[in-house]
Structure 1
Amino acid sequence: MVAEKLSDSQQRLASFLESVKAAQQLQDDIMKYGLDAAYLYCDDVDGDWLETWGDDDHEPGYIEKITTFLESDDVVAVKVRKRLQDKSHDEIIGGLEYCLSQLTEKDRIFAAKDFLVGDVVVSGSSRASGNSSIDEVELLELAEDLMEKLREILA
């Protein structure tokens, strides 16, 4: 067991040293050749790869899928647009990306609920009204539905 751990640490050290050596070589090549060092490390540097980035996948990208959903007549999308009518599509997409970036499903749902609440419910009088618990439940259900729809769309 000790020999096995030693072997593992020796392998990690060897891998690390190889990475350092490769990084030093890259640095030396950049110092020696300047920007032309890119030709040593990249194929087709002068090609149109940047202009054609993503053309080979015919499926819409992440942002396009979310935008299409938000612009659709889906019941959840309509509720979200109504709830966030003062926000631009870019702000909504940014907020949804943040919600989706949360590690656990529970965190995503609560982030979505907080995003849907915005400043209106937190600082407004609706939190103090008698319907605030109903609003909270409705918002949580909408947040759950929204995260489920986005998970389906982006899968």
Structure 2
Amino acid sequence: MANLQETQSYETSVEEFAQALTTARRMQHDWLTYGVDYVHFYVEDADSNWLESWGDDEILANKLLDAIKEFLVSSDDVAIRVRQNLGERSLFDLAVNLEVCWRIGEINDRLCLVRNLLAGEDNVDLNNGELLNLAESLVGKLAEFSE
């Protein structure tokens, strides 16, 4: 059953990549055909100051990231266990990665993504029951924040 789920996940990833590649090729073709005016096909307000203000909304108005950061430094039992598990790794990096996982990850894959983040690059025993319990608790907390 797990192999079937992984296969479907890979198929979805390949389809998304193929779609992104097709879009990039179309943009490149339009650029070669129309020059810099191709931007007007893709951006409604190409003549405004969108480049100067790019990313301001994401940084300033990311309530989920703020909630995750506040939670990770709190005295909550789950937050304490997460900090103990992190060791020398950056709490801020974990918060950013958790927010990204939550935003772009599939609902069914979130537990796996969070578990992998907690395991870190060393990929300590991913089947560790304690790590899985911590990941489940953390996913529960993240679900509360995103409501």
Place the TM-score, normalised by the shorter chain, in its bin: 0.5 to 0.7
Once the two structures are TM-superposed, the CA of residue 35 in structure 1 deviates from its matched residue by 0.5
Once the two structures are TM-superposed, the CA of residue 80 in structure 1 deviates from its matched residue by 0.3
Partners of 1:110 and 1:40 in 2: CA distance: 39
The equivalences for 1:108-119 within 5 A come to: 108-109=110-111, 111-113=113-115, 115-117=117-119, 119=122
For residue 31 of structure 2, what is the aligned residue in structure 1?
Answer: 30
Amino acid at match of 1:142: L
- Structure 1 vs Structure 2 CA RMSD: 3.9
Which of 142, 149, 152 in structure 1 is aligned with 2:134? 142
Can you give the 5+ residue segments of structure 2 that lack an aligned partner in the other structure? 1-25
Higher gyration radius (CA): 1
Amino acid at match of 2:66: E
For residue 153 of structure 1, what is the aligned residue in structure 2?
Answer: 145
Can you give the 5+ residue segments of structure 1 that lack an aligned partner in the other structure? 1-22, 123-135
- Cα distance, 1:40–1:79 mapped onto 2, change above 3 Å: closer
For residue 39 of structure 1, what is the aligned residue in structure 2?
Answer: 40
Which protein has greater RCO, CA pairs closer than 8 Å, 6+ apart? Answer: 1
The equivalences for 1:5-154 within 5 A come to: 27=29, 30-39=31-40, 41-50=42-51, 51=53, 53=55, 55=57, 59-93=61-95, 96=98, 100=102, 101=105, 103-104=107-108, 108-109=110-111, 111-113=113-115, 115-117=117-119, 119=122, 122=125, 136-154=128-146
TM-score, normalised via structure 1 length: 0.51
Partners of 1:97 and 1:49 in 2: CA distance: 24
- Cα distance, 1:102–1:40 mapped onto 2, change above 3 Å: closer
- Cα distance, 1:55–1:114 mapped onto 2, change above 3 Å: closer
- Cα distance, 1:61–1:49 mapped onto 2, change above 3 Å: farther
